Amino acid sequence: MVNEEIVFDYEVTGSAVSSIDTGAILNGDVDGWYTIIVFSVQNATAEIGVRYNNDSGANYGRRRVYGQSTGVGDSANTAATYDYLCGVTSGQRGFSVSKLYAKTGAVRLRNNTNIEDVSGTTVTTLFSGGYVWNDTSTNITSMTFMCSAGTALGVGTRVIILRPVTNTGAKTWVEVGSSVLGAAASSVTFSGLDGDVDQVYMYDVQFKGTGGVTQGFIKPNNLGTGIYGLQALRAVNTTVSAERRAGDSTGYIDSNSVTASGSYASFQGIMYAKTGFIRPWLVNFITSISGTTVTSAGVSGGVLNDTSTNITSLVLGTTANNWDIGTQVKLYALRP
Amino acid sequence: MKQKYESLFQVRPQVVLDWLNAKSQGGNSLNDGMTAYLKTKGATNPATLGEAFNQVLSSLGYTGTLSDKLGAFYKSKTGIGYGPDAERAFYNSPSLDFSNGTPDPITGFKQIADFTSAGSESSMSVTVNSDVDLEYRIDVFNTSTLRYLRIVLNSDTGANYGYQFIYNTAGVVTAARSAVSELTLSNNIRGLGSLTILAPVGFIKTCFDSQQSWLSGTTVNQCGIEGQVWNNTASITNMTMSPNIGNFTSGTRITVYARIV
């Protein structure tokens, strides 16, 4: 059985470094796809990127759309010397999740969503974009995660790479919680977790609103009181907008997107859960779906400004009214 | 030279400890935890951790010195002959399954289709049961310069699908929504896309995707995110993927995962 397993997992310990090299453990022609998860703890103001086979030529390009406070914009580059992951100010945090197609025969493309300059409950910028390594013939056997200046990869910086492989027993996505509502409810709680062991959680929800408008949220350990932040990018028909929130007592998925009674919505997120640092997450969402009309779609980056409380439970819920019978909520963790 | 099992602990101790904890064999000492785990795999009264490794690997048919056995065992788990690369792969993914190849039970996602086009196919299909699987993930690398990928569920080609997207095309950010007759990765022409389908029993089916379209060299022309819906509450029994016109082009790759039940 082929599933997606961790092939590389490295956390910077001891002192900050300028690069993290996987060594020649990869084989892009065999593996095909890689999922890359990066949590950056910035020890210097710099961009964080990855080089395939340590290619430092100007062979990388990108196009992205971003949300920064209420601003929406374009960001592109056609002569980068590394494949950008996130870039943040010294002392702040970044979080990046991407999918790379690594096989030779064509240029190598990667889709990435990331947040950067995360500090306290402020998520400064959210990016979603496409990236290219303009090399068609060199098999990817290694990746070097690096920074544009200094020793920016601070203690706690984490790099995780997953590949499709016949089950070897390495960590993979394991379903650790699943709930299908048998009665309308305002939340689902998954308990018995250990964020310091699992370290990464992925969750998805598809719900139907009942009895009034609803908005999705996530609350690790049901924590509250001014410790959540958010940067969202969304579209409603032809209008694109962005929003930043800080100091919330609820971990909103997107505070402006509501789902009317009787209509559907979904969201899917991934969170870095290890203590020692703020906990960031990225979420895709669609709301108020009725018939073939998808009223709103977007992506958001959130943060829990708590560095010390081990996550032992996750509450996924709605800020108002209820989710209907049949609502499906699932939680996955990276486990052996 | 350090014993290989000792360097395993020293290079990536937290990874090994995490793994042992997941096996309920953790504790304060990696040495004790690993020895306890090896006892569950057949080691009998080992005086040392090395002896415990030796006993278990011998019972699995590995021969030679302990170093030989560990080297062969690494290779069986990492596919790499023993050396720094094998050790690194092993440390970072401690495949310490000593049950001679029988994997531990996993409930997550499994690959149910992995299609690479030779350039002659007009479609590919996957038979599924979404009332059981509940969720699918589809990764697409599209080599066509003209065609995008369309996905039809249960052969339904009526106007029963809908989308809302945000695209950035050459620096211009736009959005739109519409009702259509298919799910699409519509801007992955010569590009990359990933689509998730959520399929709760009795609910309409909703989807998320992110995608990009490459132009040439180091220029990415377009990127976008999208939400989609199939306005049907029935179980998905078939997914048919095809270019919007003609055949796939050679090298196009489609990989489908389903939730494991």
How far is it, in rounded angstroms, from Cα A220 to Cα A306? 10
pLDDT interval class at B47 (50, 70, 90): confident
* Counts of helices then strands in chain A (DSSP H, E): 2, 25
How far is it, in rounded angstroms, from Cα B177 to Cα B41? 57
Angle at which helices B4-11 and B30-40 cross, to 10°: 120
pLDDT at residue A88 greater than cutoff 90 = no
Going by C-alpha positions, the residue among A53, A71, A49 that lies closest to residue A62 is A49
How far is it, in rounded angstroms, from Cα B126 to Cα B259? 14
Three-class DSSP labels, A138-158: CCCCCEEEEECCCCCECCCCE
How far is it, in rounded angstroms, from Cα B166 to Cα A63? 13
| Interface predicted TM-score of the whole assembly (ipTM), two decimals | 0.94
Report pLDDT digits (tens) over B215-232.
999 999 999 999 999 999
How far is it, in rounded angstroms, from Cα A117 to Cα A88? 5
Q: Do B191 and A25 touch (CB under 8 A)?
A: no
- Chain A interface includes B68 (CB < 8 A): no
How far is it, in rounded angstroms, from Cα A294 to Cα A237? 8
- Chain A interface includes B33 (CB < 8 A): no
Residues of B in contact with A77 (CB under 8 A): 218
Return the SS3 of A53.
coil
The answer to whether A149 and A77 are in contact (CB under 8 A) is no
Residue of A132, A163, A200 to mutate, interface with B, max B Cβ within 10 Å:
A132
How far is it, in rounded angstroms, from Cα B143 to Cα A281? 32
pLDDT at B211: 95
pLDDT at residue A44 greater than cutoff 80 = yes
- Burial of residue B127 (CB within 10 Å: 0-12, 13-18, 19+) is exposed
pLDDT at B102: 35
B252: CB partners within 8 A, 6+ apart: B116, B117, B140, B141, B142, B143, B144
For A36, the token pair is: 């890359």
Residue type, B52: A
Q: Do A74 and B173 touch (CB under 8 A)?
A: yes
Total-model pTM: 0.83
User: Can you name the residues that pair with A245 across neighbouring β-strands?
Assistant: A230
Residues of A in contact with B90 (CB under 8 A): none
pLDDT at B187: 78
Widest distance between CA atoms in chain A: 58
Widest distance between CA atoms in chain B: 71
| Least-confidence region, from A172-186, B8-22, B92-106 | B92-106
